[in-house]
Amino acid sequence: MNNFQYFTPTKVIFGKDTESQAGDLVKEQKGTKVLVHYGTGSVKRSGLLDRVYASLDKAGIPYVSLGGVVPNPRLSMVYKGIELCKKEDVDFILAVGGGSAIDSAKAIAYGLKYDGDVWDLYLKKEVPQDAMPLGVILTIAATGSEMSNSSVITNEEGWLKRGLNHDISRPRFAIMNPELTYTLPEYQTMSGCTDIMMHTMERYFSHEMDTDLTDYLAEGLLKAVMHAAKVLLTKPEDYDARAEILWAGSLSHNGLTGCGRLGDWACHQLEHELGGMFDVAHGAGLAAVWGSWARYVYKSDVARFAKFAVNVMGIPYDYADPEKTALEGIEALENFFRSIHMPVSISELGVELNDDQIKELAHKCSFMDTRTIGGIQKLDKKDIAEIYRMAK
Amino acid sequence: MNNFQYFTPTKVIFGKDTESQAGDLVKEQKGTKVLVHYGTGSVKRSGLLDRVYASLDKAGIPYVSLGGVVPNPRLSMVYKGIELCKKEDVDFILAVGGGSAIDSAKAIAYGLKYDGDVWDLYLKKEVPQDAMPLGVILTIAATGSEMSNSSVITNEEGWLKRGLNHDISRPRFAIMNPELTYTLPEYQTMSGCTDIMMHTMERYFSHEMDTDLTDYLAEGLLKAVMHAAKVLLTKPEDYDARAEILWAGSLSHNGLTGCGRLGDWACHQLEHELGGMFDVAHGAGLAAVWGSWARYVYKSDVARFAKFAVNVMGIPYDYADPEKTALEGIEALENFFRSIHMPVSISELGVELNDDQIKELAHKCSFMDTRTIGGIQKLDKKDIAEIYRMAK
């Protein structure tokens, strides 16, 4: 088992009607003026925003609002948020929505405590020293940003998508009411489930041995999400299934399912470039590349892929031919993705890649041929191009 | 699934040589003068204390020391710590040891921010409003106090053992180096493993349905601990097995394995009285009463006990007779306790209970016949006496 740090200070308030506690929670965090930051309108139409405003009013906390965050959140919106917060003397940010609103809020929080251009932090030119405190009211089970230290922002100039991980951006609290996620369309729900699974799988597929507890937690989480996803296909308003994936989303990316392991993260890197170039749903993009990645790398750790096949996918272990078990596990997960109407190829995303595009994706993904990606197997520009080709 | 809160702000620093970071971590928490609080000498003999002092010195942080905390930590020591900290202007407490040192440190932390007698907080006469910040260097995998909000103190006057749970006492950081636990005698190691398992089982055995993820996490944790305990019987210096139980100890009592469930906690109440009266090792006391408790209550939720039997103990499910499966699971866990040399009756603790003692234990445990204990089945004074009798 590797040495590790585990730090998840976010106070989770989980369950029915919990959004009514927003005002009190901001007060507990000593916020005196709030930016309410949200997406493209569904939180307005559903009446959620009004309930949040009422809760802030009741707690006597003034606020300003900034909506319009889009999926793959944009740097231009971050700049707008920073400007507004400075003008209005905001000292607490409340993100209402999913990963996009939260990631945008984190970028604003960094920017408010940094003198230069916040994009420099995402380009790793400087390390953030501080961030404005923020809280979250979550409406989508997916990215885990509500408890994670991650924020991913897309710069429209060059459509470069870059992530920044730092503990000072972890939200102070996260309000999670499964009922708020009832109206999410099936495609987004299943894309979210895929993202949740992949956050754990990226941690699961690496070479470290002897992490029994972490492995059990990871495997259990994957099984719980797969079961709930199937339930939600026919019963999108099943409270318990919504609750399972909402909570799994947080635990999948707060570090828990990777303690003592190094992780892989190649599929996320492969998808980030796809998302940057074609603006596809993140989870769907992950599903589209996973099978090809797995078939490309599984030989570097047949035992690990076989363990996944048996413990997660329920494949009987073939003692005479573990490689067969490993491959059956990969196929079983692809079949699961199909069953929840997720793509298992890039063309099923509606993107027909040509050779030049594959070259460009591989070039960007390898940081212009200056880095490898992946843990279970290091992948250079040539490998990356081959996986995009297999996943076409 | 029930509504729940989950709040685990403790920063965990896990792995080899991590105790050398103590000074920097205190500094990060803005501690300027430290009380180093520890037990009865093993941390001194092993050289750990010297390394901790060196780390504090290196960080330029002055400290005073108070050793001598005993198992089932005493109120008199807490008073001594409060007095010393006040005299020395201490603003950060560093517990070095196991649950006893940490619980004692938490009580001192409460006392330093409370004008009255700290014991009144444990008697629930008042609710704590604040606590001095504390950190932990853990040397025993057992109570989970390093991440929990719990502290249990014994008042020598009347040998009353009482617990206090409040989030403000959660440690700011916990340093966990599995190597520091190598020299622990087998009986204490196995008693710790039992305590860890029981923290999860107390949460597992209650009536709530539809907590798939929490159940998977709980079941996985139990399996990981059982496997590691068996390894440690013959290889007490197996790093990975020590690491598994050390990390499991924290996760077992930080709230994770009970999210969405109410829990039972009867066995802990039964053991607290035993521990108060006879000063037995906490984990061993839990093992001694669990089987009798389980046989007394299992009929109130046969499905739950059968699920435990199948998913944790690996018993094949008897579709025609689930009750048989449930009972086989109870027997299997008792056999596991036997295999790690834990008692499965009170007499095996070296305590021969007579009828008067059983009456007194039941009287105290039911708070002089004013409360019931347990969740899966409410137990009054009569039930409690019967379980002590069965467990004799």
Chosen domain end from A133, A152, A180? A180
Nearest to B65 by CA among B113, B21, B97: B97
Q: pLDDT by residue (tens digit) across A289-326?
A: 999 999 999 999 999 999 999 999 999 999 999 999 99
CA distance B167 to B127: 12
Q: Does A12 touch chain B (CB under 8 A)?
A: yes
Nearest to B148 by CA among B195, B83, B204, B216: B195
CA distance B244 to B311: 19
Could you give the percent of chain A with pLDDT greater than 70? 100
- A225 belongs to a structural domain: yes
With a cut of 80, say whether residue A334 has pLDDT above it: yes
CA distance B274 to B288: 10
Tally of domains within chain A: 2
Contact: A224, B212; criterion CB under 8 Å: yes
Please tell me whether residues B199 and B342 are part of one structural domain: yes
> A249 contacts in B (CB within 8 Å)?
none
A228's enclosing H/E stretch is: helix A212-234
Q: Rounded to 5 degrees, what are φ and ψ at B27?
A: -60, -45
Residue B11, CA distances (Å) to A148, B8, B170, B174, B268 in order:
14, 8, 10, 6, 27
Q: Does A1 touch chain B (CB under 8 A)?
A: yes
> A11 contacts in B (CB within 8 Å)?
5-7, 9
- State the average pLDDT for chain A: 96
Residue A205, CA distances (Å) to A259, A322, A375 in order:
13, 16, 8
Please tell me whether residues B288 and B338 are part of one structural domain: yes
Exposed/middle/buried for B115, CB within 10 Å: 0-12, 13-18, 19+?
Answer: exposed
CA distance B75 to B155: 5
Q: Rounded to 5 degrees, what are φ and ψ at A241?
A: -65, -40
Q: Rounded to 5 degrees, what are φ and ψ at B267?
A: -60, -40
Structure tokens that stand for B258 in this block? 């009970």
CATH number of the domain to which B349 belongs: 1.20.1090.10
Query: DSSP letter at A369?
Result: T
CA distance B151 to B132: 14
Number of Cβ within 10 Å of residue B157's Cβ equals 9
Question: For B216, which of A1, A209, A221 is closest by C-beta distance?
Answer: A221
- A102 belongs to a structural domain: yes
Please tell me whether residues A95 and A214 are part of one structural domain: no
Question: For B240, which of A7, A210, A219 is closest by C-beta distance?
Answer: A210
Q: pLDDT by residue (tens digit) across A343-366?
A: 999 999 999 999 999 999 999 999
CA distance B271 to B191: 13
Do residues A126 and A135 touch, judged by C-beta distance below 8 A? Answer: no
At what angle are helices A381-391 and A355-365 packed, to 10 degrees?
130
With a cut of 90, say whether residue A72 has pLDDT above it: no
Please tell me whether residues A112 and A197 are part of one structural domain: no
Please tell me whether residues B78 and B172 are part of one structural domain: yes
Question: Among A4, A6, A242, which would you mutate to test the B interface (most chain B Cβ atoms within 10 Å of its Cβ)?
Answer: A6
- B1 belongs to a structural domain: no
> A7 contacts in B (CB within 8 Å)?
11-12
Number of Cβ within 10 Å of residue A311's Cβ equals 20
Structure tokens that stand for B12 in this block? 């965990």
Q: Does A18 touch chain B (CB under 8 A)?
A: yes
Q: Which domain holds residue B129?
A: 11-180
Please tell me whether residues A83 and A226 are part of one structural domain: no
CATH number of the domain to which B22 belongs: 3.40.50.1970
Q: Does A230 touch chain B (CB under 8 A)?
A: no
| Mean pLDDT score, A105-115 | 98
- A258 belongs to a structural domain: yes
Sequence letter at residue A345: S
Nearest to B33 by CA among B82, B105, B85, B83: B85
Please tell me whether residues B209 and B160 are part of one structural domain: no
Please tell me whether residues B150 and B54 are part of one structural domain: yes
pLDDT value of position A69 = 96
Query: SS in 3 state form for chain B?
Result: CCCEEEEEEEEEEECCCHHHHHHHHHHHCCCCCEEEEECCCHHHHCCHHHHHHHHHHHCCCCEEEECCCCCCCEHHHHHHHHHHHHHHCCCEEEEEECHHHHHHHHHHHHHHCCCCCCHHHHCCCCCCCCCCCEEEEECCCCCCCCCCCEEEEEECCCCEEEEEECHHHCCCEEEECHHHHCCCCHHHHHHHHHHHHHHHHHHHCCCCCCCHHHHHHHHHHHHHHHHHHHHHHHCCCCHHHHHHHHHHHHHHHCCHHHCCCCCCCHHHHHHHHHHHHHCCCHHHHHHHHHHHHHHHHHHHHHHHHHHHHHHCCCCCCCCCCHHHHHHHHHHHHHHHHHHCCCCCCCHHHCCCCCHHHHHHHHHHHCCCCCCCECCCCCECHHHHHHHHHHHC
Q: What residues in chain B have per-residue pLDDT under 70? A: none
Please tell me whether residues A193 and A154 are part of one structural domain: no
> A244 contacts in B (CB within 8 Å)?
1, 210, 212-213
Number of Cβ within 10 Å of residue A169's Cβ equals 24
pLDDT value of position B151 = 96
CA distance A198 to A136: 22
Q: Does A96 touch chain B (CB under 8 A)?
A: no
Spell out a b/e string for B348-368, using b for 16 or more CB atoms within 10 Å of the CB, else e. bbebebeeebbebbbebbbee
- A1 belongs to a structural domain: no
Determine the Cα angle at A4 with ends A249 and B184, to 5°: 120
**Cβ contacts of residue A347 below 8 Å, gap of 6+?**
A353, A392
Q: Does B11 touch chain A (CB under 8 A)?
A: yes
- B68 belongs to a structural domain: yes
pLDDT value of position A158 = 82
pLDDT value of position B65 = 97
Please tell me whether residues B118 and B20 are part of one structural domain: yes
- A5 belongs to a structural domain: no
pLDDT value of position B313 = 98
Strands B4-14 and B173-176, sheet pairing = parallel
Q: Does B230 touch chain A (CB under 8 A)?
A: no
> B243 contacts in A (CB within 8 Å)?
1, 210, 260
pLDDT band at A40 (very low <50, low <70, confident <90, very high): confident
> B4 contacts in A (CB within 8 Å)?
12, 14-15
First vs last C-alpha separation in chain A: 37
Question: For A220, which of B1, B6, B220 is closest by C-beta distance?
Answer: B220
Chosen domain end from A180, A201, A222? A180
pLDDT value of position B209 = 85
Contact: B5, A12; criterion CB under 8 Å: yes
Taking every pair of Cα atoms in chain A, the longest distance, rounded to a whole number of angstroms, is 68
Question: For A5, which of B11, B223, B243 is closest by C-beta distance?
Answer: B11
Please tell me whether residues B383 and B336 are part of one structural domain: yes
Q: pLDDT by residue (tens digit) across A124-177?
A: 999 999 999 999 999 999 999 999 999 999 999 987 888 999 999 999 999 999
pLDDT value of position B279 = 77
Q: Does A4 touch chain B (CB under 8 A)?
A: yes
Chosen domain end from B180, B203, B219? B180
Please tell me whether residues B65 and B128 are part of one structural domain: yes
User: What are the E-state strand segments in A119-269?
Assistant: 134-138, 150-155, 160-165, 173-176
- B236 belongs to a structural domain: yes
Q: Does B136 touch chain A (CB under 8 A)?
A: no
pLDDT value of position B249 = 97
